[in-house]
Amino acid sequence: MLGSVARKLRFFGYDTWYTKSKPDVEIVLLGIKYRKVILTCDNDMYKRALKLRARAILLDGLGDLENIARTFFSYGTLLSTFMHVRPRCPACNGRTVKVSRSCLEEQILSFPVNNQFFRCWKCNKIYWEGSHYRSLKALSKRIDGRILELLKEPSLYTLNHTTIPRLDYVFWRMHLA
Ligand SMILES: [Zn+2]
C-alpha cells in the first residue's frame, strides 16, 4: 500500500526499505536493529512497533503527498531539510551516481537529450532529468508547503508523538544517503 511512498522517498534520497511479505515482528525487529522509522497503514502493526519501542508512524493512505508530509511533520522537519542531491534508485533503493551521456551513448540512443543522467549502482537502471524527474521535484516543494500548513495546526502535534524529536535525533534516525 505504501510502495508508491517508498519509491518517492528513495527518489528524494532517503534510504527506504519496502516489503510486502515479511511478518510484522520481523519488520519491527529490523527497524530497531537498523534504526529505521517504520511507516505503516496497519494499526495493529503500528501498536506492535510502539510496544517494542520501535520508531513508527501510522499513515492513513490519504495519498502520497499527505503521507509524506505527515511523516516529516511528525519529526518537525521539512522534506527538503535532509533531501539528498542524488536520488536513490526508486526501484531497488540502490545509491545512484551521476554519469555523462557520452558514457551511455550505446545504451540510451533513443533517450531524450538531457543534461544529467544517473545510474543505479545496484541494478544499473538509468534515470534522467526528464518530465517525471521534474514533476517529483515539484512534488517535493508541494510536500514542504503542506508541512508548513500542518505546522500551523497545533492540534496535530500529538498525532503520532507526544513531543516532536530534536532535529539532530531525526538526522540520526533517518539514515540518510
Ligand atoms: Zn536500482
Full-model pTM: 0.81
First-to-last alpha carbon distance for the chain, in angstroms, is: 24
* Span from the CA of 92 to the centroid of ligand 1 (angstroms): 4
* Span from the CA of 32 to the centroid of ligand 1 (angstroms): 25
What is the distance of C-alpha 10 from the center of its chain? 5
* Span from the CA of 126 to the centroid of ligand 1 (angstroms): 8
* Span from the CA of 61 to the centroid of ligand 1 (angstroms): 26
- Give residue for cell 495519498: 63
Cα dihedral value 122, 128, 130, 136, nearest 10: 40
CA angle 87, 90, 96 (to 5 degrees): 40
Domain limits, the chain? 3-174
pLDDT at residue 92 is higher than 90: yes
- Give residue for cell 538509468: 126
* Span from the CA of 95 to the centroid of ligand 1 (angstroms): 7
Tell me how far apart the alpha carbons of residues 119 and 175 are, in angstroms, rounded to a whole number.
21
10-38 pLDDT per residue, tens: 999 988 999 888 888 998 998 899 888 88
* Span from the CA of 50 to the centroid of ligand 1 (angstroms): 31
Residue 176 is predicted with a pLDDT of 31
Nearest to 95 by CA among 121, 117, 118: 121
Nearest to 11 by CA among 152, 135, 168, 150: 135
119-156 pLDDT per residue, tens: 999 999 988 888 888 899 999 999 999 988 888 765 55
pLDDT at residue 105 is higher than 50: yes
* Average pLDDT of the residues in 43-72: 88
* Span from the CA of 63 to the centroid of ligand 1 (angstroms): 24
Residue 138 is predicted with a pLDDT of 94
Tell me how far apart the alpha carbons of residues 53 and 29 are, in angstroms, rounded to a whole number.
10
